[in-house]
Amino acid sequence: MHVIDSHTGGEPTRVIIEGGPDLGGGSIAERCAVFAREFDEFRTMTICEPRSSDAAVGALLCTPSDPSCSAGVIFFNTAGFLGMCGHGAIGLAATLAFLGRIKPGEHKFETPVGVVNVDLLSANMARIENVESFRSQKALAIDVDGVGVVRGDVAWGGNWFFLVDEAPALLRIENIQQLTQIATKIRQALKNAGITGEGGAEIDHIEFFDAASGKANSRNFVLCPGGAYDRSPCGTGTSAKIACLAADGKLAPGENWLQESIIGSRLVASYRSGANGGVIPSITGSAFICGETKLVFQDDDPFRLGIT
């Protein structure tokens, strides 16, 4: 299997260039369903240990069904499949530029949740225009075991998020273990209470916010579905944040929001109004190529399919 590894703001993306499963035709959403139903071992063997880690996101490069798109992509991690991935889309843009498959300018990527516009600004910088994002619940109170009552917003940014403005601890690297434990408890409390996104979708991302350093507007901590924290400010999480800010009248269309991650990497975000009452977020960031690798899967390897 031929893969290209990159990172966006410190968060890894592994793009499968060759050697992935044959998912047949249909839309990327339809092929994602086939991937999950019939070829899940390709996900685990590519992104789980010993070949990768909980922090990484995988991206299967596909031929798009939409002829206006430069690429189709299915995102996944150690826990399952993702509707969209902001840092991963930026990483894919940098990967395709590295391979000479796209040049600076406007492109489109077909994802399972819709078409994402991509403006490749340079070999390592891209601006993505995400799917329409919105807030579904404001200031929802949830009683969390060992923590107490926590209030947050439920919002969609390509994945479902529970956004907590009052972080349970300072968003510093030395507090990552504590933040991870509390975020895990919040996610479980939401599940136990039957609180979901639209259509019963699991709220599988938890996001805390705090005051940022320097010129950034805020700092965040995002717990991803696999149990690892996002090293980047999280493109879909920033999209969900932008939707909440817009709903509260705290950010005007076209106004920039500089989001900082817990390790200090940054994304620049803004939005325009969406057709269905939400917002269309624009996320700008940089990705850098880390390696070009051929993964080997030996038949007698006891962890051939990954450690799950």
The b/e string for 37-73 (b: 16+ C-beta within 10 A; e otherwise) is: eeebebbbbbbbeebbebbbbbbbbbebeeeebbbbb
Is there a contact between 237 and 218 (Cβ–Cβ < 8 Å)? no
The active-site residue out of 48, 85, 224, 244 is 85
The active-site residue out of 62, 69, 224, 234 is 234
Tokens of 134: 């919105």
User: Residue with structure tokens 């009452």?
Assistant: 277
Alpha-carbon span 223 to 206, nearest angstrom: 5
Using the 8-state DSSP alphabet, how is residue 133 labeled?
A: B
Is residue 48 among the annotated active site residues?
Answer: no
Is residue 234 among the annotated active site residues?
Answer: yes
Question: In 145-217, where do the E strands start and end?
Answer: 148-156, 160-164, 205-210
Is there a contact between 208 and 184 (Cβ–Cβ < 8 Å)? no
Q: What are the catalytic residues?
A: 85, 234
